[in-house]
A = this chain, B = another copy of it.
Amino acid sequence: MSRTIVGVMGPGRGASREVSAAAHELGRLIALQGWVLLTGGRDAGVMAAASSGAKEAGGITVGILPGADTRGASADVDIPIITGLGQARNNINVLSSSIVIACGMGAGTAAEIALALKAGKHVILLHCGLEAAAFFQSLSQERVFIAEQASEAVTIAAKLLGAT
């Protein structure tokens, strides 16, 4: 039977120390839940931090890479999926995730949140900023959740997955 996959999306460049720490903790807690962690796979920012956290906790990590080979992949990605699609791969990230947790903000992350909502997924925002929260809740009141901490994001995800 297929494993539960939870996606953590966030900026590669420009992730603050606070955002990277939260991403690491998200990865760790997702692995402890027994879920597979899915990220954009690159050795940068939130992707790298979340994958590292999941591996520390003994989890399985999938990375959906934008390039056409493994260059730039995080060493903490167990299963690199090489798409060669550039940013079009963002849609795969969200379709493959049962729940999307956005950690930090940037144009790529914004695209992933929007695509997740378009696909009918639940999205949990962590350290995304007030403008993002206001905007994405204006797009979907019921499917956008705001978390203050990694642990709260994972608790919300667990409830949503249990309810499905």
Q: Verify if A72 is at the interface (C-beta below 8 Å from B).
A: no
How many chain A residues touch B (CB < 8 A): the figure is 52
Q: Does A146 contact B (CB under 8 A)?
A: no
User: How many copies, total?
Assistant: 4
List B contacts of A2 (CB < 8 A). Answer: 70, 73, 75, 77-80
* CB of A140 closer than 8 Å to a CB of B: yes
CB-based contact A68/B82 at 8 Å: no
Chain B residues lying within 8 Å of A75, measured Cβ to Cβ, are 1-2
Q: Which residues on B sit within 8 Å (CB–CB) of A77?
A: 2
Chain B residues near A113: list those with CB within 8 A: 110
Known: A88-B90, A108-B114. 17 other contacts (CB 8 A): A2-B79, A62-B81, A82-B95, A83-B95, A86-B91, A90-B91, A90-B115, A107-B114, A107-B139, A110-B117, A110-B135, A111-B114, A111-B115, A131-B134, A131-B138, A134-B134, A134-B135
Chain A interface (Cβ < 8 Å from any Cβ of B): 1-3, 5, 36, 60, 62, 64, 68-70, 73, 75, 77-92, 95-96, 105-108, 110-111, 113-115, 117-119, 129, 131-132, 134-136, 138-140
